[in-house]
Structure 1
């Protein structure tokens, strides 16, 4: 009897240990998409029902555009670019039409995009007349030998590529202008979401290719041609089919110093940990340094992670199983 019971006890014990030690198998999706529209001190008490509804409708419109492309077999690059167009064309977010103002009263825009299939990437920085900077970033990636173009040169390149060029006045919105005036006259202390803000998208297509893109108007009242993390590959944007796709938002200087987007990918690759764990570790690092912000990410199986150390982040996700989430507050 003992000869039977002892092996049985050992077998059961080993099964229990395996269950506790080894991580549960993550889900696998045919495709998935995640977006963000900036993170900061975003509190429900500061939102009217109408304002909350307006933001959620904008996020819903963007996420369903990307979902439609992916569902019909489109590439993750197309999904990222077209989804970010929706956010860039909205005055609600700090990118494109809704970009914040510099100290001199102009709008300067940055954007980047990356293809996880071959690690190709493109970016533009400090542009002031390209309607959709994310498209300019993609043109740099696909039609030049470079990764990052800035200022006048980036605009000249965009014109040659046939992108829509607009007068800088196109980016004027009263809300962003008033925010700048409040800072300049020191009428009140601005909150993080007044100063910062970014839009971003990560996507996985049916071919298993990941892509990531980020677009921003930068920081309210910025001077001296300041550039944040959004156009910096490895800081604000990163995609690798072997690991993940990441887009970041927040205080860019901290994201640059930590190389946040690439750090998450590297942890997954070298430490063999999940996207969820790697993202949590990096947000912990950010918090300890005093930086604020958030990240969105997808792994190669379409598993979603959304992390932040702020009170809120405009965000949404959708996958091939129809699972959808649209959120604003923490």
Structure 2
């Protein structure tokens, strides 16, 4: 018996739907290593090459995870851990000192497909804060844990724990001395003002799109030099420093955290994409240059959407950043190029 037109049409539609459901998304990846007063005048050629090499190592390692079929979450963790282990960045080893001369670390991660998120704030003994944030997301009913409780949870989860002094570097200790000297010789109430201290933001972060079409974003930081009273910035705050939603985009931020919190920068960018049909280039530019800049907020973001488009706007002198686009092309940049 010969199949009728309606059956033939149904079979074609079923086949097309099946092929489409099996089609893989393009993959793309981007990272940042902080934004701030980063210029050729204050960065030697040798140090610049160190940064470029480490950024390339991190971005290619994260992209390799995606290339091998790994998830966006796994790629984000891989890349950030490489930067957490480098003294070049303000995250993990190389984290800045607090006023009391120790380290309080923050991190967060978010998945775009289900909007699950995890964060830790003010931790002192977790070797990889981003791994702890992932554990909070996947192994607890909470979104954010802080201080000793977060350290205890990480220990319970079997994560690597270290003495706080492991994060010490001479460079950061020297920076603390300089900051304290500036603070004590000026109005004490102004100690967070960039007018008094030339802050450089070395927060690290990553955003990814995997072959399943899922987005993820993560951020890790040591915070602000000479911070006190348990100060927490935007990095562990979902919506301010980190955001991922498969219906819009994924964002990781770096900069003066107080401003990023007040303006909910990461979520605002993706909301403009989702509800106003902006491209990530348009949304990123609007928030960084038209919302943050007029309010004296300094810093930048990395953004990726579900088509693998990448945007990395910033309003500071420079931002350590790198990306691998959907064609597999690697880009490593530092200045406002």
TM-score, structure 2 as length reference = 0.88
Runs of 4+, deviation exceeding 4 Å: none
Q: Are 2:327 and 1:315 aligned?
A: no
Distance, in Å, in 1 between the alignment partners of 2:70 and 2:326 is 13
Distance, in Å, in 2 between the alignment partners of 1:321 and 1:147 is 35
Q: CA deviation at 1:30?
A: 1.0
Please state whether the residue corresponding to 1:119 is helix, strand or coil: coil
CA offsets per residue over residues 63-115 of structure 1, 9 Å max, x none? 11001100010000000001000000000000000100000000000000000
Residue range with higher mean Cα deviation, 180-189 or 317-326:
180-189
Distance, in Å, in 2 between the alignment partners of 1:190 and 1:257 is 21
Aligned to 1:304: 310
RMSD, aligned CA: 1.3
Please state whether the residue corresponding to 2:81 is helix, strand or coil: helix
Please state whether the residue corresponding to 2:87 is helix, strand or coil: coil
Residue number among 234, 245, 259 corresponding to 1:254 in the alignment: 259
Q: CA deviation at 1:158?
A: 0.2
Aligned to 1:224: 229
Aligned to 2:6: none
Aligned to 1:191: 198
Residue number among 114, 126, 129 corresponding to 2:125 in the alignment: 129
Aligned to 2:293: 287
Unaligned runs of 5+ in 2: 1-23, 186-195
Count the aligned residue pairs.
301
CA contact 1:71–1:320 (8 Å) conserved in 2: no
Unaligned runs of 5+ in 1: 1-27
Please state whether the residue corresponding to 1:97 is helix, strand or coil: coil
Q: Are 2:165 and 1:159 aligned?
A: no
TM-score, structure 1 as length reference = 0.89
Please state whether the residue corresponding to 1:176 is helix, strand or coil: helix
Q: Are 2:241 and 1:236 aligned?
A: yes
Aligned to 2:34: 38
Distance, in Å, in 1 between the alignment partners of 2:87 and 2:243 is 26
Distance, in Å, in 2 between the alignment partners of 1:197 and 1:66 is 19
Please state whether the residue corresponding to 1:307 is helix, strand or coil: coil
Q: CA deviation at 1:186?
A: 2.7
Which residues of 2 match residues 8-23 of structure 1 at below 5 A? none
Please state whether the residue corresponding to 2:312 is helix, strand or coil: strand
CA offsets per residue over residues 13-38 of structure 1, 9 Å max, x none? xxxxxxxxxxxxxxx97100000000
Please state whether the residue corresponding to 2:328 is helix, strand or coil: coil
Aligned to 1:112: 108
Aligned to 1:145: 141
